[in-house]
A and B are shown apart, each in its own frame.
Chain A
Amino acid sequence: MFWAEIKREFILLFRYPFELVSRMVWNLGFAFLMFFGFGTIAGAGGNSLPGFQEGQMGRLLGLLITYIAINGLSNAAELLDAEVQTGTLEQAALSPPPLVVIVLMRDLASFIEMIIRFALVLALSTAVTGVRFHLDIPAFVLILTLMYLGTEGIGLMLGGAALLYKRIATLSQFAVMLVFGMAILPLDKVPGWMGVFVHHFPFSQALLVLRQVAIDGWPLSRVIQNGAIGSLVLNTAVFLGLGVVTFAWTERVARDWGTLNQY
């Protein structure tokens, strides 16, 4: 089933070459903005997350992780919305696997496509700017994957809400703004419970580990030894687990309410 989702993702990607090129240009443009533009803002703003503080590498990582986090948050709800628009949600829902598994598989397929696209953008960016990065690729991919799965957990909760209430655009926008907020607000100055929440958000957790790997140059073995990866894995497991359980519950309620098939 996962292979079918990957295949479907790439067929649709290459079936619309204009959209593919537009995405690449947008990603590339944003990357250049990060290289040359946001640096000034970051310097002046004194913002919090390491991605926005520490040179080109930091800015690029900030872009990448923000983009992936936003996708993780919004993919499930957007997917359900698209399925409802195309009318294929019912066909998916009357397949043997629970809907949550199908949504998860499709989001993972979308994540893989995104990673490949970003690798291309990174290659193009470095070719044009001449800046070279020294990245521990396996560690980098592992951290991004864990972060994506964690944010996907929150995305599944939003997706569950979409299953029951259909229109949740405001809630989705709020979640996206939350990620943007975390990217530019000084985290150490966020007060009380909000600070605890923000620090335990998969986005923040991943960025802290990523900083150690990509900026401080720690090898994967060291972040495993110091427990940073373990903490990220736990964080991911909690958020993803909560997301899966919530979505499965909303799927059950939707089958009671009859909202699974409403347009």
Chain B
Amino acid sequence: MAIAQEQHVVIGASPGAALSVQNVSKVYPARLGRAAMVAVDGIGFDVRRGEILGLLGPNGAGKTTTLKMVAGLLRPTGGRIEVGGVDVARHRARAVRHLGAVLEGNRNLHWKLTVRENLHYFGALKGVSQLRKRSDELIARLELGEHLQKRVGELSRGLQQRVAIAIALINDPHVLLLDEPTLGLDVVAASTFKETVRAIAQAGCGIVLTTHQMEVAQALADRIAIIARGKLAVIDSLDQLMAAHRTPGYEVRVRGAIAHPLQDELAGLGASAFESEGATSRFTLSEGNAAGLYEALAPLHRGGIELIGIQQQEINLEGIYRRILEDRS
């Protein structure tokens, strides 16, 4: 597992990376009585074409600031960002031709214009040639055909998000930035959205996705980067993170409380982490203690405690995320 160092991480651009972020920092200058603030501190990562990178972190960690620097909306204080091999700070106009973004919030579009009008307007702004052909392709690909003449303000949140993606893809970008894209989507819309994002990546676009919804990142991301207090805490594939943070064992759930003498007896058999929640209790046994599992059932049975279930413990992305942030704090 590649855990970033505490201080400035320098990761050079991989050849052929769609996006390369190298040792990037952002310090908001002091102004109007507010002190200077370090928002991002020496972050580095690459994204290949066709790859989805999940950028996670608590509020204020620096995720959105990082995305906005990649999009050229913010100028980094230090470091270098390349989109499609073009330096964003030095050649912003050329770099953003390879970039699309659906930024935070649900108003990336002109609500008073129709779907097609939005596509044509933003396409013209981005200097897209053969705009009508490109719009028609995206309309078909994102299944927007039956909504073309509707004003965007009249569409559901899920459809608006699909239109925002169509606009972000209008210039056929190498890199797509998605900032909290599933916020406010219902279950069905979120599921459709995930399928859409997967298809976009499969078509060769590198995607950076920020989200607070761990299940979205777990379902979509090939690699996960976790940012804490402006620094990169970890970046690795989901599988590697799972393997590194796995704490194999069993969770035993029973009905009612487990009295202290019995807890002591179970602890002697290797049980730990006793917890009660309402009418149920649970404890864990490490995986290497399979014999202890069978032995633990006997005193439970003797004490007349009803067994609800035994489950092999599996850590998910949320568990890994919490653990990493706890380690950092």
Contacts and interface: CB of A to CB of B under 8 A. Distances in A.
B124 A4 contact: yes
B124 A1 contact: yes
Interface string A1-22: 1011001100110010000000
Interface stretch (A86-94, A127-135, A179-187, A197-205): A86-94
Contacts of B124: 1, 3-4
A69 to B, nearest CB: 28
B214 to A, nearest CB: 26
Contacts of B112: 12, 15
Contacts of A15: 112
Contact of A258 (B74, B96, B97, B109): B74
A256 B97 contact: no
A94 B71 contact: yes
Contact of A90 (B31, B92, B99, B103): B103
Interface in A55-106: 86-88, 90-98, 102
Given A94-B72, A255-B73, A8 B108 contact: no
Nearest to B124: A4
A90 B75 contact: no
A256 B75 contact: yes
Contacts of A26: none
A36 interface: no
Nearest to B153: A86
A212 interface: no
A83 B113 CA distance: 14
A98 to B, nearest CB: 8
B101 A255 contact: no
B122 interface: yes
Contacts of B109: 88, 91
Given A94-B71, A257-B28, A258-B68, A4 B107 contact: no
B141 to A, nearest CB: 20
A91 B167 contact: yes
A87 B99 contact: no
B105 A87 contact: yes
Interface in B280-322: none
A96 B73 contact: no
Contact of A92 (B97, B106, B113, B125): B125
Contacts of B105: 87
A91 B105 CA distance: 12
A261 interface: yes
B117 interface: yes
Interface residues of A, number: 28
A260 interface: yes
A7 B120 CA distance: 10
B125 A4 contact: yes
Given A4-B124, A94-B96, A261-B73, A87 B31 contact: no
B88 to A, nearest CB: 10
A247 B101 CA distance: 24
B145 interface: no
Interface string B90-103: 00111011010101
Which of B68, B97, B101, B106 gathers the greatest number of chain A CB atoms within 10 Å?
A: B68
A95 B96 contact: yes
Contact of B28 (A3, A86, A87, A258): A258
B113 A11 contact: yes
A102 B122 CA distance: 11
A140 to B, nearest CB: 31
Interface in A210-263: 252, 255-258, 260-261
A260 B106 CA distance: 17
B125 A256 contact: no
B246 interface: no
A252 B72 CA distance: 11
A4 B108 contact: no
B198 interface: no
B117 A86 contact: no
Contacts of B117: 8, 11
Interface string B75-97: 10000000000000000111011
A87 B107 CA distance: 5
Contacts of A97: 93, 125, 127
Contacts of A255: 72-75
Interface in A174-197: none
15 contacts: A3-B124, A8-B121, A12-B112, A15-B112, A87-B107, A90-B101, A90-B103, A92-B125, A93-B73, A94-B73, A94-B101, A97-B127, A255-B72, A256-B74, A258-B74
By Cβ-Cβ distance, the 4 closest A-B pairs, closest first, are A87-B107, A4-B124, A96-B93, A95-B125
Given A7-B120, A90-B101, 8 more contacts: A8-B110, A11-B113, A86-B110, A88-B107, A91-B125, A94-B101, A256-B74, A261-B73
Interface of A: 1, 3-4, 7-8, 11-12, 15, 86-88, 90-98, 102, 252, 255-258, 260-261
